[in-house]
Amino acid sequence: MFRHLFKYNLKIMLRSKEMIFWTLLFPIALATFFQLAFSGMMDATRFDPISVAVVEVGGADEMFAETIRALSAGDNRIFELMDVKDEAAAVELLQEGEIVGFFLVGEVIEVVVRHSGISATIMQNVVDSYYQTGSVVAGILEFNPGALNMELVAGIHTGESVFQDVGDSEDADFTLIMFYALIGMVCLFAAFFGLSVVTETEANLSKKAARMSVSGTHKMVGLVVGLISSFVVAYAEMLILLAFMVFVLGVSFGSQVGWILVLSAVGILAGIAMGMVIGAATKWSDNAKYALVSNMSVVSAFLAGMMLWQMRYVIEAHAPIVNRINPATLITDALYSLYFFDSMDRYFANLMNLILITGVFVLIAYVFVRRKRYDSV
Amino acid sequence: MANSVIEVKDLEKSYKELKALDKVSFEVKKGEILGLLGPNGSGKSTTIGCLLALLKFDGGEVKVFGEEMTPESYEAKRKIGVVFQDVAVYDELTVAENIDYFCGLYVKNRAERKKCVEDVIEFVGLGDFKKFRPKKLSGGLLRRLNIACGIAHRPELIFMDEPTVAVDPQSRNNILEGIKKLNKDGATVVYTSHYMEEVEEICTRIIVMDKGRVIAEGTADELKAGVSIGEKVTVEGEVSRRVVEELKKLKGVVNVEVEDRKVEVVYEKGVSGLSGLVAFLTKNDVKYERIFSELPSLNDVFLELTGKELRDE
Ligand SMILES: Nc1ncnc2c1ncn2[C@@H]1O[C@H](COP(=O)(O)OP(=O)(O)OP(=O)(O)O)[C@@H](O)[C@H]1O
Ligand SMILES: [Mg+2]
């Protein structure tokens, strides 16, 4: 039975042109597009450090000045730090145009600038990021100062690419986040398969499923084999996409291949489970469900930074919970942390969340698929 | 009863407020072609859904092959073939693959299955289309494929829900002949339709349904015998008002209906009126183009039982 169902599931999936387009060709095209769009940008623009000053007043948080100092060192520094002795001196420099702005560090940290603009935004973002990451900054700083820079810079919208040396002088760029988010999207696209499996095994969702339900074969057998086949196809497509990104586009993923493969496997499971929930728990038309799956996947990836890598930092600032539960963000962040950090903690934290979310999806789906008789078919 | 294949007792089923089945009871005996005849929405498909343990129902009992039918009755399910009202096949698979796929849900042995698939393809006459995808098939051929997918595993009990809807006459005949043949080879068939001619042609027994109720049951002849009217003679031509009034007074005539150039004369049960009518028309110098007589049809049965026509075309 397994062989029979598996064989036909594969045939059906691989021959379904629309499905293959969305889950394989479209992501490859998108990745290629990203690469073309950013390859020029990466080399062309280098980042000019922003001249700033730090003014500490009563009750100042000394860690902050420390952080700015760290960000003002090295070849690819963000800031050019000017020494000032007090606020008046800083204001003077500001008026002379020597500095773009300064940080007024008291009970709270204020950013003082003459003009709003990109530089001002960067400064504000550094402050915001500092507040959010404050507690972990010290820890990271200790074993990987480069990472700290990355983290903080990541909160910045420059409209240009920023380079920082990471660990072993490898060039890092934030467009990687877009590729990672794309992988997140492709994982979620596995929801198309999950959706089609439930549709074809739940008798109230399609006549083909009704056929299976009245046959001599247990519906759950059909469902489980369907899910296995879906996973196999989706994972194979993922491997093709990863290979394409690495070998054709030259996207870097770091050296932790095994963990990348684990992550994408779990990501695909999350996608399949999401599709099952949409299929089993909602009562819309098939078309509406497919539209929902694709919209959810794309939006999820967008929030993770697929079109705009800064996106997830904007969300981190305004609705951090979204970043903890959005599957594409979890995938993106896990890949990103594999690449940028030596420690695996953050990777595992993301992976755990992803597994939890998958579990929740599976439970919800199970409540619906365990039915044996239906109110209507 | 020993040779009962299906026993349904007081089956009740509602969709929200709508009562779709109201105390439906009937029996299907081994070797029958039972016709479930009823207009659209009378509850035929719902009945089949309940019999197959696919639908929840509110009350009643369903026994198939002598045992209560449940979703877990795999033993029974393996001996049943179902052809649903709507075509359900995979567009991605060819004709032969579709049949093999569905047959494989019942028949595990590959050699045996291969034979089943070949035979059924022959049976429904899709030999030239084995490698076609369903999208390339005409409506009638698609229906035949749908049927083939439901019966390839040689079931003992076959449910067919309106398999001839929207089918060309050739495919329709092919399907009806096929059902008779399956029956001759030993299958018990439950056949639903709202085409009375079909039901009359192939079914050994008929259950007439309306609004979720069984309103009559018997062979076509038995059902027709229960109707109070007899022969119906239709005259096409110029018939004057006076003649119509005269007609109404003729012995044995229960009703006369005029529609344009068509006059329908309905006789009492047991009265044969054609020859008398011809004589009457000649005597009254009526010119007519056509005259023909019909015995009561299942439509009349239905009309009499419910006050409405069964036909919806
Ligand atoms: N899923 C459903 N939800 C609500 N009402 C339904 C549903 N399915 C059928 N009905 C209603 O139940 C009644 C019986 O429907 P059913 O499909 O059993 O009739 P049918 O005899 O098979 O008709 P048809 O010839 O159109 O196939 C109809 O009034 C129909 O509108
Ligand atoms: Mg029906």
pLDDT at residue number B195: 87
Task: Identify which of B90, B97, B105 has the shortest CB distance to residue A215.
Answer: B105
Report the nearest atom of ligand 1 relative to the CA of B44: 21
Can you tell me the ipTM of this complex? Answer: 0.83
Q: Do B77 and A8 touch (CB under 8 A)?
A: no
Report the nearest atom of ligand 1 relative to the CA of B16: 4
CA distance A256 to A254: 6
pLDDT at residue number B305: 84
Q: Taking CA atoms, what residue in A is nearest to B89?
A: A208
- The matching CATH number, chosen from 3.30.450.150, 3.30.70.20, 3.30.70.980, 3.40.50.1100, for B228-295 is 3.30.70.980
* Edge-to-edge strand ranges of the sheet holding B205-210: B80-83, B157-161, B188-193, B33-37, B205-210, B213-218
CA distance A33 to B299: 67
Closest CA to A210 of B58, B102, B175, B213: B102
pLDDT at residue number A46: 52
**φ and ψ at B199, to 5 degrees?**
-60, -40
Tell me if chain B has a CB within 8 Å of the CB of A370.
no
Tell how far CA A31 is from the center of its chain: 15
CA distance A150 to A176: 13
Task: Identify which of A12, A210, A216 has the shortest CB distance to residue B106.
Answer: A216
Tell me if chain A has a CB within 8 Å of the CB of B302.
no
User: Residues with Cβ < 8 Å from B54, sequence gap 6 or more?
Assistant: A203, A210, A213, A214, A373, A374, A377, B71
pLDDT at residue number B3: 84
Start-end ranges of CATH 3.40.50.300 in chain B? 4-224
Which of B21, B46, B57 for a ligand 1 pocket mutation test, highest count of atoms within 8 Å of Cβ?
Answer: B46
Cα distances from A7 to residues A183, A219, A226, in angstroms, run: 27, 17, 10
Start-end ranges of CATH 3.30.70.980 in chain B? 228-295
Tell me: the pLDDT tens digits for B107-117?
A: 999 999 999 99
> What are residue A165's DSSP bridge partners?
A171
Q: Mean pLDDT, 10 residues at a time, over chain B (313 residues)?
A: 86 94 95 94 95 95 95 95 94 97 96 96 94 94 95 96 88 91 95 90 94 92 82 86 84 85 84 82 86 83 80 55
Q: How many residues does chain B have?
A: 313
In words, the CATH class of domain B4-224 is alpha beta
Q: What are the chain B neighbours of A1 within 8 Å (beta carbons)?
A: 104, 108
Q: Which of residues 23-52 of B touch A (CB under 8 A)?
A: 49, 52
Write the residue with the smallest CA distance to atom 29 of ligand 1. B41
Q: What are the chain B neighbours of A207 within 8 Å (beta carbons)?
A: 84, 86-88
Q: Do A216 and B101 touch (CB under 8 A)?
A: no
Q: Taking CA atoms, what residue in B is nearest to A377?
A: B55
Tell me if chain A has a CB within 8 Å of the CB of B86.
yes
Compute, in angstroms, the gap from residue B59 CA to the centroid of ligand 2.
20
User: Residues with Cβ < 8 Å from B283, sequence gap 6 or more?
Assistant: none
Q: Does the CA dihedral A316-A319-A322-A328 come out positive or negative?
A: negative
Q: How far apart are the first and last CA of chain A?
A: 25
Tell how far CA B282 is from the center of its chain: 41
Write the residue with the smallest CA distance to atom 8 of ligand 1. A376
Q: How far is B109 from chain A (nearest CA, A)?
A: 10
Q: Mean pLDDT, 10 residues at a time, over chain A (377 residues)?
A: 95 93 93 80 59 84 79 76 89 90 86 78 76 51 46 39 34 72 94 96 94 93 96 97 93 86 96 96 92 93 85 82 92 88 88 96 94 89
Compute, in angstroms, the gap from residue B21 CA to the centroid of ligand 1.
10
Measured torsion, CA atoms of residues A322, A326, A330, A333, in degrees rounded to the nearest 10: -60
User: Residues with Cβ < 8 Å from B173, sequence gap 6 or more?
Assistant: none
CB of B59 within 8 A of CB of B14?
no
Long-range Cβ contacts of A37-41 (<8 Å, 24+ apart): A38/A161, A38/A173, A38/A175, A38/A178, A41/A160, A41/A161, A41/A175
Task: Identify which of B54, B78, B87 has the shortest CB distance to residue A203.
Answer: B54
Q: How far is A157 from chain B (nearest CA, A)?
A: 47
CB of A297 within 8 A of CB of A188?
yes
Q: What are the chain B neighbours of A211 within 8 Å (beta carbons)?
A: 82, 84, 88, 102, 105, 149-150
Q: Do B101 and A8 touch (CB under 8 A)?
A: yes
Tell me if chain A has a CB within 8 Å of the CB of B249.
no
Compute, in angstroms, the gap from residue B203 CA to the centroid of ligand 2.
18
Q: What are the chain A neighbours of B71 within 8 Å (beta carbons)?
A: 213, 372-373
CB of A50 within 8 A of CB of A264?
no
Give the three-state DSSP class for A37: helix
Q: How far is B153 from chain A (nearest CA, A)?
A: 10
The number of CA neighbours under 13 Å toward the Cβ of B119 is 13
Tell me if chain B has a CB within 8 Å of the CB of A21.
no
Q: Do B71 and A206 touch (CB under 8 A)?
A: no
Q: What are the chain B neighbours of A217 within 8 Å (beta carbons)?
A: 105-106
Task: Identify which of B84, B89, B105 has the shortest CB distance to residue A210.
Answer: B84
Who lines ligand 1 at CB under 6 A? A 376; B 15, 18, 20, 38, 40-46, 85, 162, 194
CATH numbers and ranges of domains, chain A: 2-41+173-369 (no CATH), 49-168 (3.40.190)
**What letter would DSSP give residue B55?**
B
Q: Return the structure tokens found at B106.
A: 């019942």
